[in-house]
Structure 1
């Protein structure tokens, strides 16, 4: 087959087969390679299979380090790394100009439809649209009648899914208008590809994406109903959302606050964001939550994702939602059947960008045709529902076809059928070779001043096999970067538009209380896990030591495991297997449902990191990914039991937690987020240390056994070497207590931790300028005083009952005070039971 590549084109590229599909991006109708593909294919060929394989590994490594994931809806937080094919999809400049004009025209038309359906409804009055098509659709929200946002355009964002038609031109197979996803992933793909194929990207003169996002920021600024410098937030369903990575990525890239429904509240006719420095009025919400979930008062009462009363504020014009609520009606695929008539009604001519042939089953004639030709069509519901996908009927058995027919006949107006527009193919690097795979392109348009601006290219999804007829991320598809090739070198454009008004300085302190609470608990869970692993490592070392471990010491150590981790009853039960502890120790380490166990604490910590993803640096994401990998491999390392150095299985986890702690010290701005992360860390480290001291040092043992227990405590708290150098004597309880409780230079001492906690609390309260100490401040001061007043020689004394009562009472009181401080912090800053705390001056005249 003639390809007209260069004479020395490598065999890898020459062997790319011309597929049986009706259209392939590489080959023209005569079998020749298209001109705009030749440079890229030559470049990929020069890399060879090994080079391309290495670039693919590098791309996956970057995506993993960036935390780029796509969550499967049924898998909880068990997400998978976003897939990226190292071979981009190419579109030449001339063809893209035609596609871009068609996308702009289509967005303009759908904007007119949206304004009409929630306004005069001329399309229904003139019988262009059947009323049941609109009124029966869940996307049409009667409560949104008359709601308008500032500006001429009501449809702010529009996404279009396209495939190649039989003539090679792009054909639309669907529109996304509620909360179009994918633009953030397209940006991430571009970022990765420009790093793994830098020379090919640079020399190919690819249209840049900056102008699209600049237009998006410009549009958000222009929508403000409350003057200049609007506060824009991105509303996300949360970490369990399929596209949560994109939400965090766009929030960081655009400079907007990422919020969940619980972070917002409606008061006095406005929307406010609950943050540590009070309530901030929100002007614009760029939503990633579908229509009906946005307001549990007027739309869907069982929603926990929205904001009660949000629609009423939007109706009053005091907040702008993009896209406006109710725009989901445009996603009804049955509209594709009527778009030619709609275009004639509004524009006087047909659309340049055609839609795939569609039959609406509410029409009797359409229904008869579809039922007679079902095995040749694709059936879709008119409203997207979780877990419900398009059905490619050619793959169904006769029984399955009968079931589809039954559903259609039972509820015909809620189904459409579409022509089997199997996507055209493009080269994809799979199975270590270039193979043709079906591709679907999603492009994006944003309203910008008097017209729409279109992202050059967009997000291309590619099938994972030749059998995959419906290309969907949910069904395992991967993605491609989309290169629109310019005819001349592209001028680098700054993402930021200097013409936009600068934001208020007080917005830099915007931080939802939920984010701060999760940072607080991120610190606490990491310390819980680290303390448990340190103790467990020491216990393993002692149990497997060459010299037999005295029974009293063994029993005390095992009971301390239960008491420190709070995995009761554990080794404190009357029938506890103290002489055969392996199963219980493995359970404490590996069982995810064992509250207080190591895996349970680490999973809770990872959950908190997902909720605060936008606050963490790229290096922090890498460490968290390493931690997740180590945790997943832990059962394998301990699969053979505890016979051979089990402490080594915990070492990588401890090291990774230490790296995480170091990064938060070196990489986080000293703002509210960092301060609460540190407060959680210091608070929990103190609680864990006091629990360790109470469980191991309060009971009185024989002298030799006591020395071994003191040495265990020093080893667990990382001060054994310091003790030996400082005291040059056998492990003695009074010296150990001095080092662990009182030493100001020991970063793991009680004094050091509580004093740091005091400083953080005082820094927060200094902004309030109140002479009255808060509950948490009083508790921490009292705990610090108790530590400072401690006399180790007195605390080391025992009574006739065989316990050190003075030490136990002192440590118990410190624990109680710190638990009181933790509850007070939660009540004051997270639960808002004491009302919002004004930590900075905003200078606003409005009061919530």
Structure 2
């Protein structure tokens, strides 16, 4: 941080001496002209008002899930650090930056096409060949031979999206310190920052004349579609290839896919057949015309590039090489993401464009030239030492900050392999204001600018975002290094209204449809298992709540003690405790060790929460904002509170109630907020299937009612089935297996009954794509028929002897087993018919009876 005085907001004329250029204040300590209006509005907010806006922005970021770390599947997500103080640039200054960046994008695009094609730049000696052939990011299998070139379109874009890192020198001029051409990250985050700030500080935002960023994303979308060749009609299919929820930029991938209305896909969703890239959907294989790549090039194809990659698609490199598929950016674009090219770019610009380079790069020297190496080592402290090729940690080395031994090691490495190092001048970045608590202070700032190729050429995002590195080097370029980000405003020279860009209106006739489009098999798989895990969590928490209510007075011999002992069977059958374990307390009003293990961070309930979180991450682009908020709270803070409540009966009961309320909210959104499409069918089917399993287990628990004089098992079955009040309203206090089983199994008006689940599953199965070998309706009807047989086993009390009831109980147990087997078999059919290509593992828990297995569910 700067050592300058911290200001309570803005104090006119205060001493604000900072190293380098001050973005907001002049030498006299007063705001620069284009900052005056903004500073006045901040001053009007006051310290308390500003702090409220800071907290609002933080909460908005948390609510929308913006993060660099939630991909991990843990609840310890890395918070997106966002400063509400923007970086403000004038329109005149921006036009200068814009012109230089567009020209640089054109040069790099031409260079990329040449390196994977004729290689005229190498033949002319415009830069050392080692920067290509010694570059691990140059992917030789992607180079086109003479046969490929004959069918190749020389006008196609190789660099469709490009990012540039810039810093401002002390003299006020901007200079480029890094090019990002592999998978440029941040445009989605920039848009998210803009929207967050607009909502957190509307009174400040609306009073500034800021250039809109919406046109940039429309241009990006139009540019991707314009890349398509041979697409059906005028609506090509564009997909964004993501490494998946484990990628640091996954939030941005989801955000961009939604913003540009394109499909979000993973490598497992795609296959190459007959020189075409196809998307695996439940209804069949669909062609992809354009692929927006957010996966490092060498991971894209395990056949031609990295054999161990599980993220790419075999044959993708072949499609690009032969021009059969348009990929943005082209696989191999990382070859020009190197500072070693900086010294040679002015000559390349003149050769490839016939123009003088506009954008100035930081003074950079490639150490692979002996005279350059000697000069750098003689003045080592004047430079920052960078890796010539990005990969590994990618962090710069500051020789002045190294220990004597580390400095000596760096020098030895540079002398041994000089071609792997670059020396870049030591720059003093400009300082930008930021809010810290109730004070304003300055920090070094790095500007990242984004450029995309549209149908009519390159276009630059007005603004981008700025990074305030608080740890590590300002030039590392890595977002997950503790950097704070801020919005960048480019002021209009004249007042201009904010413009929104709606979906294009077609002049052609469009047939009305009721389908929501194709659904990837992986997505259907995730939805199915999300439904199952959510239902399972609800059942587990109902069981735990029933026990915890009884723990206060559970002394040996008491009614509560006997009920807890009776509930042990439910816990075992549901997999919450092992078969040899007991849940009855040894000390009154204490939680048994077995229950503490059931709710522990590595216990079965925590596993369901973890699996739910993992699944919801893979469905981020499919979740509405309301569903996402519920699932985020459910698997984040609520799951944490459940862990912290361990050992406290009162607190645990309170958290159990919260969990069940969230489960009810989730069910409500599924019922009232989801279109009745294929996704809804698979999600609902999973929920109903798991609920039906539990209903059958409740029915099985009634088997021993004849030997239960107090009819405890019947009462507990009704309580756990959430039907006790209904039973009392119908039958008062008289308990008998037949009406209990009717309510649990065959009452079509009871939304918790098994037959209700069966009927719902039959309806949902109608939304499944046809598969000849899947007989969902037939198998579900078999289960429904067996339910009636179960009820008929039990006659009126006066007609049923003890021996007859024992026989009926045994038969009921057998029928329950058969019904479960049918449902398990159906689950296996669905897995094999729709999800088999997915390689993710889904673990519910041990089966409720040791002798039984669940085919196709593990």
Fold-level similarity (TM above 0.5): yes
> Counterpart of 1:758 in 2: which secondary structure?
helix
Q: Report Cα offsets for 1:472-497 as digits up to 9, x if no partner.
A: 42211121111100012224434247
Whole-angstrom CA distance in 1 between matches of 2:96 and 2:267: 40
Query: 77-86 or 253-262, which moves further after superposition?
Result: 77-86
SS of structure 1 residue aligned to 2:768: helix
Equivalent residue, structure 2, for 1:563:
573
Distance 1:379 1:710 in 2: 75
The 5-angstrom pairing of residues 141-290 of structure 1 reads: 141-146=139-144, 151-227=155-231, 228-290=234-296
CA drift at 1:253: 1.2
* Root mean square deviation of aligned Cα: 2.7
Alpha-carbon distance, 1:774 to partner: 2.5
Question: In the TM superposition, what is the alpha-carbon distance from 1:651 to its structure 2 partner?
Answer: 1.8
**Partner-residue secondary structure (3-state), 1:680:** helix
Give the corresponding residue for 1:96. Answer: 94
Residue 854 of structure 2 corresponds to which residue in structure 1? Answer: none
The C-alpha deviation readout for 1:258-310, integer Å capped at 9, x for no partner, is 00000000111111000111111110000100110111100111111111111
Give the direction of change, closer, same or farther, for the CA distance of 1:551–1:545 in structure 2 (3 Å limit). Answer: closer
Q: Given the superposition, is the C-alpha separation of residues 356 and 504 from structure 1 closer, same or farther in structure 2, using an over 3 Å criterion? A: farther
Alpha-carbon distance in structure 2 between the residues aligned to 1:417 and 1:645: 59
Q: Does 1:488 align with 2:494?
A: yes
Report the CA distance between 1:829 and its aligned residue: 1.1
Deviations 1:529-563 (A, max 9, x none): 11111111101112334772466543331232122
Structure 2 residue 447 is the aligned partner of structure 1 residue 441 = yes
Pair 1:61–1:701, CA change in 2 (3 A): farther
Deviations 1:195-232 (A, max 9, x none): 12223222211000111111111111111122332100
Q: 1:389 to 1:511 in 2, by over 3 A?
A: farther
Q: Structure 1 74/65 Cα, relative in aligned 2: closer, same or farther at 3 Å?
A: closer
CA contact (8 A) 2:242 2:294 kept: yes
**CA gap 1:503/1:428 in 2 versus in 1, 3 angstroms:** farther
Deviations along 1:608-657, whole A, 9 cap, x unmatched?
Answer: 0000000101111111221111112222222xx14546322322122112
Give the C-alpha shift of residue 369 in structure 1: 3.1
5+ residue gaps, structure 2: 1-6, 839-858
Q: For residue 73 of structure 1, report the CA deviation from its aligned partner.
A: 8.1
The change in CA–CA distance for 1:392 and 1:534 in structure 2 (over 3 A counts) is: farther
Change (3 A) 1:550 1:66: closer
Q: Distance in 2 between matches of 1:499 and 1:346?
A: 39
CA offset digits 1:319-357 (Å, max 9, x no partner): 110111111111012111221232233345542211111
The equivalent residue for 1:109 is 107
Q: Secondary structure at the match of 1:435?
A: strand
**Counterparts of 1:446-595 in structure 2 under 5 Å?**
446-464=452-470, 472-496=478-502, 498=504, 508-545=516-553, 548-549=558-559, 553-565=563-575, 567-569=577-579, 571=581, 579=586, 582-592=592-602, 594=603
Q: Residues of 2 paired with 1:521 and 1:307: CA distance?
A: 25
Distance 1:788 1:387, change over 3 A: farther
2:375 to 361, 369, 380: 369
1:820 corresponding residue in structure 2: 825
CA distance in 2, matches of 1:240, 1:369: 43
Identify the residue that residue 391 of structure 1 maps to in structure 2: 397
For residues 151 and 222 of structure 1, do their structure 2 counterparts lie closer, same or farther at Cα, with a shift above 3 Å needed?
Answer: farther
Using the alignment, how far apart are the partners of 1:298 and 1:188 within structure 2? 36
Give the SS at the match of 2:433. Answer: strand
Measured after TM superposition, the shift of residue 149 of structure 1 is 6.0
1:133 correspondence with 2:131: yes
- Contact 1:235 1:286 (C-alpha < 8 Å) held by counterparts: yes
How far has the Cα of 1:703 moved from its partner? 3.6
- 1:14 is matched with 11
Distance 1:606 1:812 in 2: 31
Q: Tell me, in whole angstroms, the C-alpha distance in 1 between the residues paired with 2:10 and 2:167.
A: 24
Alpha-carbon distance between aligned partners in 2 of 1:529 and 1:497, rounded to the nearest angstrom: 40
User: 2:345 matched to which residue of 1?
Assistant: 339
Give yes or no for the alignment of 1:811 onto 2:808.
no
Q: Contact 2:642 / 2:652 at 8 angstroms: preserved in 1?
A: no
Q: Give distance in 2, aligned partners of 1:271 and 1:501.
A: 30
Distance of aligned partners of 1:810 and 1:414 in 2 relative to their CA distance in 1, 3 Å threshold: same
- Measured in 1, the distance between the counterparts of 2:815 and 2:658 equals 35
2:82 maps to 84
Question: Which stretch shifts more, 70-79 or 299-308?
Answer: 70-79
Q: Distance in 1 between matches of 2:357 and 2:734?
A: 88
Report the Cα distance in structure 2 between the residues aligned to 1:33 and 1:212, rounded to whole angstroms. Answer: 30
Change (3 A) 1:58 1:368: same
Does the aligned pair in 1 maintain the 2:153–2:323 contact within 8 Å? yes
Q: Write the distance in 2 (CA, Å) between the matches of 1:208 and 1:35.
A: 21
Partner of 1:428: 434
* Residue 610 of structure 1 pairs with residue 617 of structure 2: yes
> What is aligned with 2:121?
123
Q: Encode CA deviations 1:671-726: one digit per residue, 9 max, x unaligned.
A: 111111101110111112223443x3334575444x23322222222111111112
TM-score by length of 2: 0.89
Distance 1:345 1:582 in 2: 78
Please say if residues 740 and 750 of structure 1, whose CA atoms lie closer than 8 Å, have aligned partners that are also in contact. Answer: yes
Change (3 A) 1:331 1:558: same
Unaligned runs of 5+ in 1: 1-9, 834-848
Q: 2 CA distance for matches of 1:746 and 1:112?
A: 68
Q: How far apart, in 1, do the equivalents of 2:173 and 2:750 lie?
A: 71
Query: Which stretch shifts more, 618-627 or 72-81?
Result: 72-81
Question: How far off is 1:565 after superposition?
Answer: 2.5
**Superposed CA offset, 1:734-777 (max 9, x none):** 32211111111111100101110011113435xx4x8x672333
Q: 1:702 to 1:550 in 2, by over 3 A?
A: farther
8 A Cα contact 1:439 1:471, kept in partner = no
Kindly indicate whether the alpha-carbon contact (under 8 Å) linking 1:445 and 1:453 is maintained by their aligned counterparts in 2. Answer: yes
Q: Is the 8 A contact 2:384 2:396 kept in 1?
A: yes
CA contact (8 A) 1:150 1:225 kept: no
Partner SS state of residue 286, structure 1: strand
Change (3 A) 1:602 1:701: farther
Structure 2 CA distance for aligned equivalents of residues 653 and 149 of structure 1? 57
Residues 463 and 478 in structure 1, CA contact (< 8 A), matched pair in contact too:
yes
**Contact 1:783/1:814 (CA < 8 Å) preserved in 2?**
yes
Instruction: Measure how far apart 1:567 and its partner are.
Output: 4.4
Pair 1:761 & 2:759 matched: no
Counterpart of 2:845? none
Measured after TM superposition, the shift of residue 381 of structure 1 is: 2.0
Cα distance in 2 for partners of 1:805, 1:525 equals 30
How many residue pairs are counted as aligned between the two chains? 810
Counterpart secondary structure, 1:379: strand
**2-structure distance, mates of 1:590, 1:17:** 55
Aligned counterpart, 2:855 = none
TM-score by length of 1: 0.90
CA contact (8 A) 1:225 1:317 kept: no
| Shift in CA distance, 20/748, structure 1 to aligned 2, threshold 3 Å | same
Q: Which residue of 2 aligns with 1:841?
A: none
Secondary structure, aligned partner of 2:599 = helix
**Match for residue 727 of structure 1?**
731
C-alpha separation between the residues in 2 aligned to 1:499 and 1:314?
32
Check conservation: 1:23, 1:424, Cα contact below 8 A: yes
2:502 and 2:469 map into 1 onto residues whose CA distance is: 35
Structure 1 residues 213 and 471, CA, compared in 2 at 3 Å: closer, same or farther? Answer: closer
